[in-house]
A and B are shown apart, each in its own frame.
Chain A
Amino acid sequence: MKKYKLLALCVISITFAKAQKYVELAKSCNEVFPDQEVVISESKVEMTFKAVKGKPQAIESVEEFVVCTNSGNKFHYAVFYDDNSSIDKFSGFYSSIKDNYSTDGIFHSDLKIMAGVRNFYNFGEGFSVKYLKSYKDLKYLTKINFVSRFKTLEKEIKITIPEAFDVEIVERNFDGFGIVSNKVIEGKNTVYTYKLEEVENYRAESNQPGPSFIYPHVLLLVKEYSKGNDTEFFKTTADQYNWYKNLVDEIGNETETIEPIVKQLIEGKKTDQEKIESIFYWVQDNIKYIAFEDGIAGFKPASCQEVYSNLYGDCKGMANLTKEMLILAGYDARLVWLGTRRIAYDYSMPTLAADNHMICALRMDGQYIYLDPTEKFIAYKEIAERIQDRPVMIEDGNTYVLSSVNKNSPNQNYRKIKMQLDLNEDLSMNGEVEMAFSGEYKSYFLDLNKKVKKKDKEYLLQQVLSTGENKIKTEDLEIENLTQGKTPVRINGNLTIEDVASEFDGEIYIYMDPFQFYGNSKIDVERKSDYWMSFKKMESLEISVAIPEGLLVESIPEPMQIEQEGYAFEGSFNLKDNTIHYSLHAKFTSSILKKEDFIKWNKILKTIQDFYEQPIILKRK
């Protein structure tokens, strides 16, 4: 252990801080973690599985020593719990509060918070936080995270498992964290110990992978408690499925309620696709997504009649309604459990941590077609990036099918812009424009379009077409295909682009690309996580500019071609019949930019930027 070990040992026995008693410790913390308000100098987490009144439970005991490493602050500390756990002791604060906790995007959950606040007045003050948390239903205890909101000098996690418990420990993301692990048998207990030093806290980088991909943690697979027989655990994935199935069996769907709407939706529809689309799009359009993560309700879908009459539901409720409607229409529809791309697990292990989403699958011609009604305006057979290629568990009566969602091509999500412009005397350009977009581009736009007031829709179109650039002015815009389906949204109209040319002594430099897609997408090479784009995509921009009489084209820039694993850019200028044709095509076949590729990406970006900024040079005759 390092130099601060001794210091930390000195302080651990002292519960409450005296002013500036831990100046040396705070300085050590500062050396390792500069610019922090507080640092945890030592954190001890003990997770002990035990029987409480004959019921298998786990008790988490946490003790952390907090040191003030700035000139003073209000230190906030919080522990979360839910309907299946409780905070039994919480000490170190003069006062604490318990309350419901809400997060963005979740309308209602059973998540609760126990929080304490303590004032630090000076650098070098410190005190101990202790709490005890009981997990009353071990199904919901899925993991122990090794990082927290605070940077920590030393951390020790000890897991004690008596022989009556069969718990598998699965280590994740340990590489690069210097974790020293140990497993010993102490009497009738198996004890796992993990020690870490200089532990970074959670980071908030934009577009980062889900936490289960980047932070060290252990998954706890509680498989059996040999002294009890009334408790459900997951020894295998089949056990997990059976538990899900039992919940589904309890839904109590009353499909007669939804029969009339199904009849109405498929009436007159001839092909399977027409019928399925009619139902799928109706759910997308009419059922508002509201997230509920309330205890068992976090796993049990609401009944089809409830979602239908409420006109809102969470992913499970919407999937269940879609499934029941499709069954009524004569199709083999199933519920599908899955984790979105934020989740790093699959169904090779039985754990509730593998799931955070539910969709519906159609079994047709021996294939599964996945339908996610929470993805507003996504077309039938189009798949949102967040679930593409994700492992899924599909219901199949008393058993289940493990598969994965198909991975769609980037062509699903395209944005194509075509302009036919004239160069004016004042060196602005104006003419006709046509924009078309599909897939997730379309889905995103239509969702936004639905949410803005009638009055603001014109403004939204202007913003979409000008990509927010004030030098692009639009007029007479018309829009087509505002409904679901694969037909792309089309916007047509006229536009004027200003400030695209400079004149130097009779030479006119024209910059053809007013958008310069990705030109400013430089990635900070200090960033610690891979960069996850929203989706794979394809961009196409074609601009034709007629050169007026009196001007001669002196030079046009060289083309650009970039082909990398995961993305490609191609740009060119051509002169034909006194018209300059500019084209830019970009394709992202992967939505992930790996950290090790950031430097290369930035270099390529420079090439792309240089291409954008190369002018066409015209000369006055």
Chain B
Amino acid sequence: MMKHIFFTVFLAVFVVQAQSSPIATLPDLISEYEMKDIKSYCWVNSKFNGTEVPEQFSSASAVFLRYENSIELNQTTKNRKKYTFLTHRKIKLMDAAAVERFSELQRSDFGSVEFNYQYTIKSNTEYGARVIKEDGTIEEVDMSDFYKTDKLAIKNLEKGDILDFFYYKFLVVADVLPDNFPITFDRFVMYGYYPILNFEYKIVTDENWKINLINKNKAVKQKVGHVPNQKNMFRFVFTRDQLESSENDFWFYPYQEEAFVKFVILNSKNFLSKREKEKQPLIVREVPKKELITKFKPYFLTYSAGANEYEKFRKYLKRNNKTSLSDHDFIKEYYYFLRHYFITKHFFEKNLNRANKDLIPPFGHLNSNNKIIMHLTYGLKRKSIPYTIALGQTRSLGNIDEIIHVDEADLLLVIESEPKLYITEPYFYTKYGQVPGEVEGSKAMELKKIGEKSNALNTSYFNFPVSSHQDNKAVYESSVFIKPDMSNVEVSTKMTLKGLQNSDLPHYLVNWLDMVQDEAILYGSNITIDSKGKSKKKGVQIDAYRKDISKVLDENRESFVKNHFDSENLLFKEYKDLAYGNGLNTNDYQSEFKCEIDGLIKKVGPNYVLKVGKLVGGQLSLDQDALARKSGVHMKYARSYHYILKINIPEGYEVKGLSNLSNNVDNETGSLISSASIEENTLVVHFDKKYKHNYEPLENWGLMKEFIIAGDKFGAKEILLKKIK
């Protein structure tokens, strides 16, 4: 009996001690924790234990009291590395909406850190969650089902509670990394859906890593030092207190507007210890100029793999008597030849033998592998046409000064002519000499050979040119026929897309199979897209593919026309391509579509009212939230839209209310100019809308609203067809 009591007491004491383990004995590094103890790191040893919400956040729905990410990278043995991360969130729920939101958690709510690794020896994960009630009592959440279902229902959650949860993971890998290999890359803008009271991102590494970091507009406070008592372990701590919440506007590029942090951790032997010895800052903030030069140097060397295609190209020129072309024409011909060879023809052939066939060309990415550009350089060298390389950064992600890894740079080939000519990696509808809207006007780094005979490169900066709204124009010329019985209207529209307006839409609308067939004839490719003359098997295969493409195009085109007129009361009749606009014959995409629209004409007494504004089609409409914009306006490119309506005036009627269709809003940001006139028996309406720049500062939003609202209001404009007595 005595023994039993002693044992019970011993156990009780042990349990109490275990629960309140002395904080000092807990390791400082997350990688040193046993899986079972990681909770202690977050919930016992945490240096942040605040629970109060400052006055400024008192009206928030929820407040992140703590938002913590930790990464640790250790070389454990000569050939083994251990990567560890922890995400820890502590959220105070301030209203019923927050209770509703956080009473069910998904795996993505726990956050994550991605590592680039290949050979995993061992890995493990741990999730934990607890609820701290307002009276201080703590209820730990049973996580056992979460590992199976990826979903967690939090019990007994109430307004005022603090939800405290974490995700911990380690990996032991056997990767041998080359120098400058990026093990992890992360970026985050300093605003969130909920305010954050205490933000901390901690990175601990041994000496063999290099951290390249951008801390734009002092997004975070940086603190760098050693892990106590560990000479070869370095700690980088980024913190921020009292971060306000923010909501997204449309046309919003957060990496242009907001403070942000972006970093990459690269493998670099003894980098940190060397820097320390040299008394250099341990965090670097550098555009990886040297690496950029190394990466892009091959573009200035002779690309011998390009010889085959170049020979084929020369034969094509010869066949077509194009042997004495100007430099520009030569590059243009070569550009489109290579595009056919590597993109359009390849796309058709690849898909024909695939199970999941692409029915429309997927959107290409600016930052592709630039293989075709390499081919192009071969031709340029053969023709001794001088060129350089320009590197930029998509505006939505920042600018070239802020890239921290070579893979972030977008490449354009620059032909040294007057004016300079910019060439991107070709894709289905890219045009020779067109700067992509994503980089227009942004800062670029130019790589240029120092001299004819030297392979060394030097760098300089310039800004990419910007296209104008006249360059990027969409024109819609509609003939509108009011049926004699006044029941509805028939509309036939010719659409012309110029410049950058002709980049996205063709993917959805163009019958690319016909386009590739035309190209194949031009270039003498050994592909036939027509089933005629093919084996039965091949014929069936091509016919089926053609049919599937037609089906998806029919759907896309009908949906496009309905969207264009913003009407469901529309009978789609016809759509045909007039010009592919892929740069070969024309740069502009042209098509014609026909439809009937109900509900635009209504009888009022002996007269009829025609909703002319609706014939222009849907225009941007701003709700009360959008009107009160809070950030600068970032758009893909400057552009203009011109609509011409030619409407027959039914016999026996005259038009009243022409002045309703007049607008003259014109300011430095854009314009909305519209007018109407009668020409013989036709009502002619012009509607012209311009966005003059690809960026407007917030203070110009008021000016932008003037023409955007006028455009929206035009949709409600009417004319009266008055019966002539």
Binding site for B on A (CB under 8 A): 19-20, 23, 35, 70-74, 100, 102, 107-108, 119-124, 288, 290, 309-312, 450-455, 459, 462-463, 470-471, 473-474, 498-500, 502-505, 507, 509, 520, 522, 555, 609-610, 613-615, 617
CB distance from B612 to the nearest CB of A (A): 10
Q: A20-B541, A451-B96, A474-B624 are in contact. List 12 more A-B contacts (CB 8 A).
A: A23-B540, A72-B544, A108-B149, A121-B355, A122-B540, A311-B158, A312-B155, A502-B720, A503-B660, A504-B660, A522-B568, A555-B605
B541 touches A123 (CB 8 A): yes
> C-beta contact mask, B90-126 vs A, less than 8 Å → 1, else 0?
0000111111110110000000000000000000000
B151 touches A108 (CB 8 A): yes
Chain B residue nearest in CB terms to A557: B604
CB distance from A618 to the nearest CB of B (A): 13
Question: Please, how many angstroms separate the alpha-carbon atoms of A609 and B353 in the complex?
Answer: 52
Which A residues lie within 8 Å of B156 (CB)?
309-311
Interchain Cβ contacts under 8 Å between A and B, 21 examples: A19-B537, A72-B355, A72-B356, A73-B355, A102-B151, A107-B104, A123-B540, A288-B99, A451-B96, A453-B98, A454-B94, A455-B61, A470-B623, A473-B624, A499-B713, A505-B657, A507-B720, A509-B718, A555-B605, A610-B602, A615-B609
> C-beta contact mask, B144-169 vs A, less than 8 Å → 1, else 0?
01001101010111100000000000
Which A residues lie within 8 Å of B353 (CB)?
121
A20 touches B540 (CB 8 A): yes
Contact check: which of A290, A470, A615 meets B712 at CB < 8 Å? A470
Question: Please, how many angstroms separate the alpha-carbon atoms of A451 and B716 in the complex?
Answer: 35
A503 touches B356 (CB 8 A): no
Which A residues lie within 8 Å of B157 (CB)?
288, 311
Contact check: which of A70, A450, A470, A609 meets B547 at CB < 8 Å? A70
A288 touches B100 (CB 8 A): yes
Chain A residue nearest in CB terms to B551: A35
* Residue of A35, A454, A459 contacting most chain B CB atoms (<10 Å): A454
CB distance from B317 to the nearest CB of A (A): 35
CB distance from A106 to the nearest CB of B (A): 10
Q: Is B60 an interface residue (CB 8 A)?
A: yes
Which A residues lie within 8 Å of B717 (CB)?
502
Q: Is B599 an interface residue (CB 8 A)?
A: yes
* 7 interchain residue pairs of minimum CB distance: A119-B355, A123-B544, A499-B716, A453-B61, A71-B544, A71-B545, A504-B656
- Interface size bracket, B side: 35 or more
Contact check: which of B59, B94, B355, B720 meets A120 at CB < 8 Å? B355
Chain A residue nearest in CB terms to B603: A610
B537 touches A454 (CB 8 A): no
B97 touches A288 (CB 8 A): no
Which A residues lie within 8 Å of B97 (CB)?
450-454
Question: Please, how many angstroms separate the alpha-carbon atoms of A100 and B148 in the complex?
Answer: 8
Which B residues lie within 8 Å of A120 (CB)?
355
Contact check: which of B100, B543, B656 meets A450 at CB < 8 Å? B100
B625 touches A459 (CB 8 A): yes
Which A residues lie within 8 Å of B543 (CB)?
123
Contact A509:B96 (CB < 8 A) given known A73-B356, A454-B60, A474-B624: no
B95 touches A454 (CB 8 A): yes
Question: Please, how many angstroms separate the alpha-carbon atoms of A97 and B115 in the complex?
Answer: 27
CB distance from A362 to the nearest CB of B (A): 27
Q: Is B327 an interface residue (CB 8 A)?
A: no
Which B residues lie within 8 Å of A288 (CB)?
99-100, 103, 157
A504 touches B100 (CB 8 A): no
Binding site for A on B (CB under 8 A): 59-61, 94-101, 103-104, 145, 148-149, 151, 153, 155-158, 247, 353-357, 537, 540-541, 543-545, 547-548, 551, 568-569, 599, 602, 604-605, 609, 621-625, 656-657, 660, 712-713, 715-720, 722
CB distance from B83 to the nearest CB of A (A): 28
Which B residues lie within 8 Å of A451 (CB)?
96-97, 100-101
Chain B residue nearest in CB terms to A450: B96
Contact check: which of B155, B544, B713, B718 meets A498 at CB < 8 Å? B713
Which A residues lie within 8 Å of B623 (CB)?
462-463, 470
Which B residues lie within 8 Å of A310 (CB)?
153, 155-156
Which B residues lie within 8 Å of A102 (CB)?
149, 151
A122 touches B541 (CB 8 A): yes
Contact A609:B60 (CB < 8 A) given known A74-B356, A615-B604: no
Chain A residue nearest in CB terms to B95: A454
Which B residues lie within 8 Å of A509 (CB)?
604, 609, 718, 720
Which A residues lie within 8 Å of B355 (CB)?
72-74, 119-121
Contact A459:B153 (CB < 8 A) given known A502-B660, A504-B720: no
Question: Please, how many angstroms separate the alpha-carbon atoms of A314 and B115 in the complex?
Answer: 39
Contact A312:B153 (CB < 8 A) given known A454-B61, A613-B602: yes
Which A residues lie within 8 Å of B60 (CB)?
453-455
Chain B residue nearest in CB terms to A499: B716
CB distance from B707 to the nearest CB of A (A): 16
Question: Please, how many angstroms separate the alpha-carbon atoms of A251 and B190 in the complex?
Answer: 50
Question: Please, how many angstroms separate the alpha-carbon atoms of A454 and B719 in the complex?
Answer: 44
B656 touches A470 (CB 8 A): no
B548 touches A71 (CB 8 A): yes
Which A residues lie within 8 Å of B719 (CB)?
504
Question: Please, how many angstroms separate the alpha-carbon atoms of A462 and B97 in the complex?
Answer: 18
Chain B residue nearest in CB terms to A120: B355
Question: Please, how many angstroms separate the alpha-carbon atoms of A522 and B720 in the complex?
Answer: 26
Question: Please, how many angstroms separate the alpha-carbon atoms of A72 and B352 in the complex?
Answer: 9
Which B residues lie within 8 Å of A450 (CB)?
96-97, 100
B609 touches A520 (CB 8 A): no
CB distance from A175 to the nearest CB of B (A): 32
Question: Please, how many angstroms separate the alpha-carbon atoms of A617 and B604 in the complex?
Answer: 10
Chain B residue nearest in CB terms to A75: B355
Question: Please, how many angstroms separate the alpha-carbon atoms of A73 and B351 in the complex?
Answer: 11
Which A residues lie within 8 Å of B537 (CB)?
19-20, 122
Question: Please, how many angstroms separate the alpha-carbon atoms of A462 and B625 in the complex?
Answer: 9
Question: Please, how many angstroms separate the alpha-carbon atoms of A72 and B357 in the complex?
Answer: 6
Contact check: which of A19, A70, A502, A617 meets B657 at CB < 8 Å? A502
Which A residues lie within 8 Å of B545 (CB)?
71-72
A453 touches B718 (CB 8 A): no
CB distance from A104 to the nearest CB of B (A): 12
Question: Please, how many angstroms separate the alpha-carbon atoms of A92 and B677 in the complex?
Answer: 69
Question: Please, how many angstroms separate the alpha-carbon atoms of A309 and B157 in the complex?
Answer: 10
CB distance from A105 to the nearest CB of B (A): 12
Which B residues lie within 8 Å of A614 (CB)?
602, 604
Question: Please, how many angstroms separate the alpha-carbon atoms of A502 and B602 in the complex?
Answer: 14
Question: Please, how many angstroms separate the alpha-carbon atoms of A499 and B356 in the complex?
Answer: 49
Which A residues lie within 8 Å of B155 (CB)?
309-312
Question: Please, how many angstroms separate the alpha-carbon atoms of A330 and B468 in the complex?
Answer: 78
CB distance from B76 to the nearest CB of A (A): 34
Question: Please, how many angstroms separate the alpha-carbon atoms of A119 and B657 in the complex?
Answer: 61
Contact check: which of A71, A73, A498 meets B541 at CB < 8 Å? A71
Which B residues lie within 8 Å of A474 (CB)?
624
Question: Please, how many angstroms separate the alpha-carbon atoms of A73 and B551 in the complex?
Answer: 15
B716 touches A609 (CB 8 A): no
B621 touches A470 (CB 8 A): yes
Chain A residue nearest in CB terms to B245: A455
Which B residues lie within 8 Å of A452 (CB)?
97
Chain A residue nearest in CB terms to B152: A107
Chain A residue nearest in CB terms to B154: A312
Question: Please, how many angstroms separate the alpha-carbon atoms of A70 and B155 in the complex?
Answer: 50
Which A residues lie within 8 Å of B656 (CB)?
504-505, 507
Which B residues lie within 8 Å of A119 (CB)?
355-356
Which B residues lie within 8 Å of A311 (CB)?
103, 155-158
Which B residues lie within 8 Å of A100 (CB)?
148-149
CB distance from B10 to the nearest CB of A (A): 32
Which B residues lie within 8 Å of A123 (CB)?
540-541, 543-544
Chain A residue nearest in CB terms to B625: A459
Which A residues lie within 8 Å of B104 (CB)?
107, 290
Chain B residue nearest in CB terms to A472: B624
Which B residues lie within 8 Å of A124 (CB)?
540
CB distance from A67 to the nearest CB of B (A): 12
Question: Please, how many angstroms separate the alpha-carbon atoms of A361 and B219 in the complex?
Answer: 58
